[in-house]
Structure 1
Amino acid sequence: MLKAICIFLFLFITGLHAAAQQKISLNSDGHLADWKLTPQSAIGSDSMQLFNDSYPTANWVKALVPGAVFSSYVAAGIEKDPNRGDNIYRVDKKKYDRNFWYRTTFTVPQKTNGRLWLNFEGINRRGTVYLNGTLLGRLNGFMQRGKYDITRLYRPGKKNILAVLVEWPGRPVPNYAMPAYMSSDSWDWMPSVPGLLQGITDDVYLTTSGDVLIEDPWIRTDVSEDRKDAYLRLRFDLKNNSEQQQEGIAIATIQPGNITVSQSVKIAPGKSAQLAFDTAFYKELHIQQPLLWWPNGYGDPNLYHLTLSFKTGKEINISDTRTLQFGIKKYTYDTLGGVLHININGERIFIKGGNWGMSEYLLRCRGAEYDLKVRLHKEMNFNMIRNWIGSITDEEFYEACDKCGIMVWDDFWLNSHPNLPNDVFNFNENTVEKIKRLRNHPCIALWCGDNESYPLPPLDSWLREDVKTFDAGDRKYHSNSHSDGLTGSGPWANFKPSWYFTKYPGGFGGDVGWGLRTEIGTAVFTTFESFKKFMPKENWWPRNKMWDLHYFGPQAANAGPDRYENAINNNYGAATGIEDWCRKAQLLNIETNKALFEGWQHHMWNDASGVMTWMSQSAYPSFVWQTYDYYYDLNGAYWGAKKACEPVHIQWSYADNSVKVSNTTLKAFSNMTAEAIVYDINGKRFDPYCMESKVNVKANAVTDCFRLNFNTNNLAYQKKAYASSTTKDAEEAGAVADGNSGSRWASDYTDDQWIYLDLERPTNFDEVVLNWEDAYATQYRLQVSDDAAGWKDVYAQNNGKGGRELVKIAPVTARYIRMKGLQRATQWGYSLYDFEVYSNSKKSREISTTHFIRLLLKDEKGKLVSDNFYWRSSRSNDYTQLNTLPPAVVKTTSSIKNRDGRSLIIVTVKNTGRSIAFATKVQAYRTSDGERLLPAIMNDNYFTLLPGESREITIEFETRLLNGGGYKVVTEPYNL
């Protein structure tokens, strides 16, 4: 291996004129640099001793570069696995909350005939760099780059000693230490990291060049209104690092299209020349019929490749070469209706995405792992990721988003704390560095100044001007992440599915409405298999303090873990143990996360312009805010979001029972068939509720299909209602009889209030349902009348608990029925979603309390385009009847294909029993040790099969996960 490295280095150095700007890695996984680290205090005051060839480092810790100091200690086995139990909370932080020295050696075989450069891409928080005892420079802020000419400093054929003093960021972190990793001293989704993620946090490498360097190439694109023409503008600097004038030719080549433009230039000694190529002088940069970059679902994320070279001398030597990818696109924005809309290439984009707090809480996500994480977002049919408080700095993240068509809402490093960074000038320097480094990525859709507030003066003005100057205003600068055309943040806890369709799902800050919500989410519990990996067995059950240390308790109060627990208990029945809890949690995850996205799509362009879940990926093993977990298990939240966000998607509203098709593509579809089939708990079709219609589905819009009528027996359905008062934040009294459990009536804030229904004629009934909002009555009377003047009590409630109240009374005949409130349970008034009236003697055949809705959308040739499946209860989210399902019987067969390092398992699951196979989960394992085959890409999971039905499931993963052995597939219906 050493011989191979030396040969590569020889070619790397001597091949300077053939291929400048090649990189050779000095990262710890590059086999050339063996990094180690130790506390500064262990060295003493004489740091120059580090540059003695014989300096002993046997007792130093092997360092991960890039990475964090604490992560290196974990990798070395000095600290226990911080993911498990409370290990990270037991670490002595004093060991890490101080400065550290990094040291490595490397050898370059022979003297270069050009220049040799040492490059640093990022250090957190500050770093001082030395080579062979010579100070090279100081980096301040994790976005600052270091590029040092070491041509006269390195020792050819001998050991070169590179050392970096990395300084601890210091407390408090928000906003004082910015730019740094905001959450490093804990947040409500990750623990405090010893050392606050200090370290050499980005790549270190060597490059070669001639005397002239290409710096900060910047390519801008514009697109005509009809999208038939694109116009490119290229800017870059040429820096002459020599003491003589340099002259040569700058050449830019763009593929596809084989476009080449060039310009001759002379550069004075030690100076820089700014070069510009645009269509005013270079007609080649006017591209006809361009391949445009589109977000996921709206088109292909086409990318172009730019190669820049500067050649000097009579022999045309290459002094420097740079390559980059870019996409041809044009972002525009509007706030019509008070709602922010993001447009690309003249088309409005309906935002569907998620927030990333960190890629991994110890900075252990690197390289190709970003391709996996971003691909999972593409598979969920997302089109945007929010880089929350700029916590992701790795170029690979943006490259993956470019390839997958995932737009990035990119924050700077400020949270709503009323303090400025310790050094606002350094903050601004890092801002400029970030923009320059990332602006060529087509994925960046917007720059944002502050999380949930406005940057304090002078930063807001500086940030706005930085974007205007260094990104030329090609992307919008937005000061506040939840205001100014946005509808606030949160909430971040579990709500009933109907709430997401109801006017309005409230947020904190911003404007009222659906609009564009940059963060809203819910707790998301893991599967039992993931739970076991980080939770000690003695802490499995029942819920305890250890759960809280993984954010299911007071530490994650915003996630509403109590609400989540109550929802499981009330909706699915109290769990009998941890396995049962995790099993039921996946149903809640599916239902809530699907409703979140479908609720926004239900109101698409009628106020709503998009939504991003908080959060879409997991940085730490926890029970909150994730779609796939830390181990890449695709839990129920993933499948709920994936289904809801289909580009062409048929969906049902829990609130008003309407069925719609949301189409977030640029293609319209005519003569489609929308069908709703309703089944009882036994899987038998219930025709009175089934519907079908032909629909023409509009492009980039939502289309109404029909409304399911689950009120055939409700005598009050669509009858007139009258109330003593109505508040401004609710609908009129008739909302209680409209069949929409998302609309509500609310009274003034006094005890003596009432609402009554006019059944139009004397009617016999013996059952009343009151579906209360949070503002309910502890005391009330149900009264009847024949003239709406004189009232007779038929029921008295003196200890009301709210929720859905089913009241049975002696049979009575009357035209009017009234709820008369006597005592409120809250400071608010009385609020009802539904006021229903029934007669048991006249009920038609009832469907089971829990039943199922299957939606089908087919094109004009009968091909299935979208399907959807819901479980519904006539008792307000009470699905406990699912626990009475007879055991399912399924047959599973599978085969595997291996190609180019990847494997594909094709699984067929057939329901061979008499009961439905509800929420069927498929998981692949390797047979050698029983571990799950993760990460994997799957096409479906948690699906339901009627008797005789089958489903094909594909599971794609890297073949190396098999460890040379075999696999098995386990299929588990909920009613196993």
Structure 2
Amino acid sequence: MFGKNGKWWASLLILASLQAAAQQPYMRLNSGSAAVQWKVKAAAAVPDSAAIFATAYNDKEWVPASVPGTVFGAFVEAKLEKDPNFGDNIYKVNKAKYDRDYWYRAVFTPAASPHAEMQWLIFEGVNRKGEVFLNGQRLGLLDGFMERGKFDVSKLLRAGQPNVLAVRVQWPGTPIVNYASPTYISSASWDWMPYVPGLNMGITDDVYLGSTGAVTITDPWVRTQLPDTAHAKLHISMELNNNSGQQQDGTVSGLITPGNIRFSRTVKIGAGQTENVSFQADIDHPQLWWPNGYGSQPLYACTLQYTAANQVSDEKKVSFGIKQYRYDTLGGVLHVLVNGQPVFIKGGNWGMSEYMLRCRGGEYETKVKLHHDMHLNMIRNWIGSITDDEFYEACDKYGMMVWDDFWLNSHPNLPSDVYAFNKNAVEKIKRLRNHPSIALWCGENEGYPLPPLNGWLREDVATYDGNDRLYQANSHADGLSGSGPWTSFPPAWYFTRFPGGFGGTLGWGMRSEIGTAVFTNVESFKRFMPDTSWWPRNKMWDLHFFGPSAANAGPDRYDKAIRTNYGAPTSIEDYCRKAQLQNMESNKAMYEGWLHHIGNDASGIMTWMSQSAYPSLVWQTYDYYYDLTGAYWGVKAACEPLHIQWSAADNSVKVVNTTGHHAQGLTAQAAVYNLDGKPAKEFAKTTVLDAPANNATPCFDLNFNIDNLAFHKPAVASSTAHDGDSASAVADGSTGSRWSSQYTDHEWVYVDLGQDQPISTVVLNWETAYAKAYSVQVSADAQTWKEVYHTTNGQGGMETIDFTPVKARYVRMEGSKRATEWGFSLYDFEVYGQRNKRSISDVQFIRLLLKDKDQQTVSENFYWRSSRMTDYTALNKLAPVQLKVSTRTEAHGDSIRVIAVIKNPAATPAFAVRVNLVRSDNHEQILPAMMNDNYFTLLGGEQKTISIDFERKLLPGGKYSLTAIPYNNK
């Protein structure tokens, strides 16, 4: 529709029938074209650089190159370097060979461009600088990888004849942070990727020839505003550049689809002048662009033309979405609103798309689709390391908001050339501002940009993006709750006040980075690790960042958790198998811990990291080869828009609604099963509830303390430390709270059972600060105490103390010697009677179901829980289960879908079933593939249907093999 009054604010005319359309580009100069062959050679090895501009120059000894690409990538692709992904190959490369300037050279023969007055040579990006020559003529210098080069080659280009294009690319130099910015600053190594020889120097973006008339359209910009969701205001602006020596009289016109909205205006432009032209419009009932989970992602197209004498001089097409971002920091917490709707951020950080810039084109579709399927709604472009248009186009398509950084890390130095930095910042904003996915611009990673850049960047966003998005100066402050930690913790920790970060304000809030080590599956591990380094853990693992090189990931802590929680692995296969359970449990709890507090101070969480740039053993959901690890499935389960979840800290169950719409008439159900698969019916719960949007609605508590005589009983302590809860914490059944004494020996805590009753067992669940020497005492009056147990060799953790049955009302732990510098600290103090210590197995399964008003399942969630903190070693006693598997295939255009029905015919649960699809001929995994579920559990008699989608070209013979193996089957 046109608007309230059925007309545009600017004059509207039907576009005239045009004789010809502008062609831009008309010849692509990227690799892959039969007409172009790029080659590279070190500048120092080219003594006579003038000679390379001759078409007859012999470049036989030059190395074939890919454009877009990097110098080092060219040598790898030519097999002049060993596979840098494998083993320690990249660490052995002679850096001096690549850490210097290089020449790129190509010869091409363009056809004549009809109806064109001007020919343009276009560069979209060179890292770090590029001096461009055509047929021996220097065209200019590109300074920074976001600077676009648009060179008038009308008089230089030889149509129908060979042309020589050469670019001298300058090495970024070291130190790189922040001196060489704008550039890919992690290329000099980080704690998740190695040093890349040449520092990703090269022609890193598209190159092409374009043709226009005398007038060109530059940087068209479509801004959208929403007075309310039923009305949209559009502001369309552009620069018109007259590149000739005569005045140009013509018409600028536009077409917006859908809607077939047309507009035009006559414009006169003086010789060599620029005119800024704009239009405005009202649109009723617009199709709104929403983040993933909150609605659909319709996109509009705006086609702009400048015509003179019935000839199209230039044409630009802009894709945009109608949306409006708003922000507040109420309570000191950053909140993001889209189209007036609060959005809970569920995101992931990308370090890079690929450490050698080898991610191109459709790969971004795959990566972003995987984020969409995990139910995430934001990707952080960490330190601006992604520069490809395809990334932003995929984010637009899949509703993935982009937190976009500039190129600064928390180092106390400015870029060597702040003016080049700022010019690139303006270029970045202009190039990206039409993407509806751009949600936030960030100045610096974990710091504030030094003067003058902070002020400049703020003004850049205000001027060139109209402050339509927030400028966030510091990535972990100013409304954010910090960044980190980046290592795994027990599930209860993520629900406990507060998961501490670095920087920012105390609380859950909006956490820009938090993560954990994530080990790969064994198939991927063996793809990049020499067989001599498979087992046990060794230095080669550290070269793939599972050791001191990735200390922030806490690999030692992660390794200990696997061994403690699931038992010591016996091989690399066993290690990877157990690692996936650790991955799933910790990453799921991480997101659910934040979601548990939505509606209070939690507004979002972004994992470090959601994607893998290098074959690594830390910080990823899917791995470098697109195998979906346990972390992927944990995040996917936690982030579903309407979600039922359990808190490992206090055993509460909540329904979390991040859809933007109230959900009414829901039924929440919980079932608990013993390790043998039999239901523990006394723990079953059901309730009916409504779930408001942007909130976590309590359902019920799962009381695993039915036999615990101390549960919710009064407790008294000799003292309480400033960093601990009161004595009642030991009896609240929550591992998310703890009592801690003052930092002295001879402190105590007791519980009042209310009346004398037989007792024979006490369970003490210690925090890190445990007692080396202590006694358990009983009393009838809390005055006179009788000792029933004493030790001078306390072990900490969960200690179960059995003693001769005795009648008592009061039970006390009296610590006489601390094991640490702190006091005595207990999560739980449990007391059990004479006959039945526990009515359930040490490890239990929890299944949660959420059904809508029609009793259709909208959320299903599954957990494993231990009565002994995170001791799941009892899972290793599960009997093997042979599953029944049937499969069929469906053809969908260029894709194949494998549908598998997996059934458990046994009474024993089939725990954490891993489905794996491979080619029959070589048994290699079929990747990338989109799956609906994995690592699921089937109780006796249950079955599940799994669908797996992949490109037909990945299965050339059409034959595959699918396995479904539960954790039970070693």
2:443 corresponding residue in structure 1: 449
1:870 corresponding residue in structure 2: 863
How big is each residue's C-alpha offset from its partner over 1:886-919, in whole Å with a ceiling of 9 and x where there is no partner? 1112111111111311111111111112321111
Which residue identity is paired with 2:109?
T
2:942 corresponding residue in structure 1: 949
1:914 corresponding residue in structure 2: 907
Which residue identity is paired with 2:120?
W
Which residue identity is paired with 1:414?
L
Q: Secondary structure at the match of 1:580?
A: helix
1:299 corresponding residue in structure 2: 295
1:965 corresponding residue in structure 2: 958
Whether the aligned pair in 2 keeps the contact of 1:352 and 1:383 (CA below 8 Å) is: yes
Whether the aligned pair in 2 keeps the contact of 1:17 and 1:210 (CA below 8 Å) is: no
Q: Secondary structure at the match of 2:272?
A: coil
Counterpart-to-counterpart distance in 2, 1:422 and 1:435: 21
Q: Secondary structure at the match of 1:409?
A: strand
Whether the aligned pair in 1 keeps the contact of 2:758 and 2:834 (CA below 8 Å) is: no
1:9 corresponding residue in structure 2: none
2:12 corresponding residue in structure 1: none
Counterpart-to-counterpart distance in 2, 1:727 and 1:332: 42
Which residue of the other structure, out of 147, 150, 161, is the alignment partner of 1:147?
150
Matches within 5 A, 1:263-278: 263-278=265-280
Q: Secondary structure at the match of 1:224?
A: strand
1:859 corresponding residue in structure 2: 852
Counterpart-to-counterpart distance in 2, 1:727 and 1:462: 47
2:124 corresponding residue in structure 1: 121
Whether the aligned pair in 2 keeps the contact of 1:16 and 1:209 (CA below 8 Å) is: no
- Answer yes or no: is 1:929 the counterpart of 2:931: no
Q: Secondary structure at the match of 2:835?
A: helix
Which residue identity is paired with 1:50?
I
1:167 corresponding residue in structure 2: 170
Counterpart-to-counterpart distance in 2, 1:481 and 1:740: 33
Q: Secondary structure at the match of 1:161?
A: strand
Which residue identity is paired with 2:215?
V
Instruction: Give the aligned length.
Output: 951
Whether the aligned pair in 2 keeps the contact of 1:130 and 1:162 (CA below 8 Å) is: yes
1:308 corresponding residue in structure 2: 304
Deviation at 1:813, TM superposition (A): 2.4
Q: Secondary structure at the match of 2:409?
A: coil
1:612 corresponding residue in structure 2: 606
2:10 corresponding residue in structure 1: none
- Equivalent pairs: percent with the same residue? 59
1:709 corresponding residue in structure 2: 703
Which residue of the other structure, out of 575, 587, 596, is the alignment partner of 2:581?
587
1:12 corresponding residue in structure 2: none
Whether the aligned pair in 2 keeps the contact of 1:16 and 1:210 (CA below 8 Å) is: no
User: Structure 1-normalised TM-score?
Assistant: 0.96
User: Structure 2-normalised TM-score?
Assistant: 0.97
2:712 corresponding residue in structure 1: 718
Counterpart-to-counterpart distance in 1, 2:193 and 2:840: 46
- Answer yes or no: is 1:381 the counterpart of 2:375: yes
Which residue identity is paired with 1:84?
F
Whether the aligned pair in 2 keeps the contact of 1:671 and 1:695 (CA below 8 Å) is: yes
Which residue identity is paired with 1:69?
V
1:496 corresponding residue in structure 2: 490
Deviation at 1:727, TM superposition (A): 3.2
Which residue identity is paired with 1:192?
Y
- State the superposition RMSD in angstroms: 1.3
Deviation at 1:424, TM superposition (A): 1.1
Counterpart-to-counterpart distance in 1, 2:823 and 2:447: 32
Q: Secondary structure at the match of 2:44?
A: helix
Q: Secondary structure at the match of 1:208?
A: strand
Q: Secondary structure at the match of 2:302?
A: strand
Q: Secondary structure at the match of 2:194?
A: strand
Q: Secondary structure at the match of 1:191?
A: coil
Which residue identity is paired with 1:117?
W
1:558 corresponding residue in structure 2: 552
Whether the aligned pair in 2 keeps the contact of 1:20 and 1:318 (CA below 8 Å) is: no
Counterpart-to-counterpart distance in 1, 2:854 and 2:89: 59
Counterpart-to-counterpart distance in 1, 2:447 and 2:723: 26
Q: Secondary structure at the match of 2:393?
A: helix
Deviation at 1:111, TM superposition (A): 6.4
Counterpart-to-counterpart distance in 2, 1:421 and 1:114: 40
Deviation at 1:153, TM superposition (A): 0.5
Q: Select between 821-830 and 937-946 the one with higher mean Cα deviation.
A: 821-830
Q: Select between 782-791 and 944-953 the one with higher mean Cα deviation.
A: 782-791
Q: Select between 562-571 and 369-378 the one with higher mean Cα deviation.
A: 562-571
1:741 corresponding residue in structure 2: 735
Whether the aligned pair in 2 keeps the contact of 1:342 and 1:348 (CA below 8 Å) is: yes
Whether the aligned pair in 1 keeps the contact of 2:25 and 2:208 (CA below 8 Å) is: no
Deviation at 1:723, TM superposition (A): 1.9
Whether the aligned pair in 2 keeps the contact of 1:389 and 1:411 (CA below 8 Å) is: yes
Counterpart-to-counterpart distance in 1, 2:214 and 2:456: 34
Q: Secondary structure at the match of 1:88?
A: helix
Whether the aligned pair in 2 keeps the contact of 1:16 and 1:114 (CA below 8 Å) is: no
Deviation at 1:16, TM superposition (A): 9.9
1:774 corresponding residue in structure 2: 768
2:3 corresponding residue in structure 1: none
Whether the aligned pair in 1 keeps the contact of 2:669 and 2:687 (CA below 8 Å) is: yes
Q: Select between 694-703 and 955-964 the one with higher mean Cα deviation.
A: 694-703
Q: Secondary structure at the match of 1:199?
A: coil
- Answer yes or no: is 1:764 the counterpart of 2:758: yes
Deviation at 1:109, TM superposition (A): 2.7
Which residue of the other structure, out of 503, 506, 515, is the alignment partner of 2:500?
506
Counterpart-to-counterpart distance in 2, 1:797 and 1:482: 46
Q: Select between 549-558 and 814-823 the one with higher mean Cα deviation.
A: 814-823
1:23–1:447 CA distance, 2 compared to 1 (3 A): farther
How big is each residue's C-alpha offset from its partner over 1:294-324, in whole Å with a ceiling of 9 and x where there is no partner? 00000001111110100012xx100000001
Whether the aligned pair in 1 keeps the contact of 2:113 and 2:211 (CA below 8 Å) is: no
- Answer yes or no: is 1:106 the counterpart of 2:108: yes
- Answer yes or no: is 1:801 the counterpart of 2:801: no
1:467 corresponding residue in structure 2: 461
How big is each residue's C-alpha offset from its partner over 1:843-892, in whole Å with a ceiling of 9 and x where there is no partner? 4x621111111111111211111101111111111111111111112111
Which residue identity is paired with 1:81?
D
1:136–1:179 CA distance, 2 compared to 1 (3 A): same
How big is each residue's C-alpha offset from its partner over 1:394-434, in whole Å with a ceiling of 9 and x where there is no partner? 11101100000000111111111111111111111111111
Which residue of the other structure, out of 857, 866, 879, is the alignment partner of 1:886?
879
Deviation at 1:23, TM superposition (A): 4.2
Which residue of the other structure, out of 395, 399, 408, is the alignment partner of 1:405?
399
1:3 corresponding residue in structure 2: none
Which residue identity is paired with 2:575?
W
1:206 corresponding residue in structure 2: 209
Which residue identity is paired with 1:65?
V
Matches within 5 A, 1:217-296: 217-225=220-228, 227-278=229-280, 285-296=281-292
2:87 corresponding residue in structure 1: 85
Deviation at 1:775, TM superposition (A): 2.2
- Answer yes or no: is 1:480 the counterpart of 2:474: yes
- Answer yes or no: is 1:536 the counterpart of 2:530: yes
Q: Secondary structure at the match of 1:242?
A: coil
How big is each residue's C-alpha offset from its partner over 1:122-168, in whole Å with a ceiling of 9 and x where there is no partner? 11111100000000010111111100010000112111000000011
Whether the aligned pair in 2 keeps the contact of 1:501 and 1:655 (CA below 8 Å) is: yes
Counterpart-to-counterpart distance in 1, 2:678 and 2:786: 43
Which residue identity is paired with 1:851?
Q
Counterpart-to-counterpart distance in 1, 2:822 and 2:872: 30
Whether the aligned pair in 2 keeps the contact of 1:213 and 1:238 (CA below 8 Å) is: yes
Whether the aligned pair in 2 keeps the contact of 1:25 and 1:32 (CA below 8 Å) is: no
1:108–1:16 CA distance, 2 compared to 1 (3 A): farther
Q: Structure 1 stretches of 5 or more lacking a match?
A: 1-14, 279-284
Whether the aligned pair in 2 keeps the contact of 1:494 and 1:523 (CA below 8 Å) is: yes
How big is each residue's C-alpha offset from its partner over 1:688-737, in whole Å with a ceiling of 9 and x where there is no partner? 11111111122232111110110011111001112222234332211111
Q: Select between 19-28 and 635-644 the one with higher mean Cα deviation.
A: 19-28
Counterpart-to-counterpart distance in 2, 1:17 and 1:745: 79
Deviation at 1:52, TM superposition (A): 1.3
Which residue identity is paired with 1:865?
V
Counterpart-to-counterpart distance in 1, 2:188 and 2:764: 47
Whether the aligned pair in 2 keeps the contact of 1:67 and 1:202 (CA below 8 Å) is: yes
Q: Secondary structure at the match of 2:505?
A: coil
Counterpart-to-counterpart distance in 2, 1:833 and 1:503: 14
Deviation at 1:17, TM superposition (A): 3.7
1:292–1:728 CA distance, 2 compared to 1 (3 A): farther
Deviation at 1:181, TM superposition (A): 0.6
2:15 corresponding residue in structure 1: none
How big is each residue's C-alpha offset from its partner over 1:338-362, in whole Å with a ceiling of 9 and x where there is no partner? 1100000111000101100000001
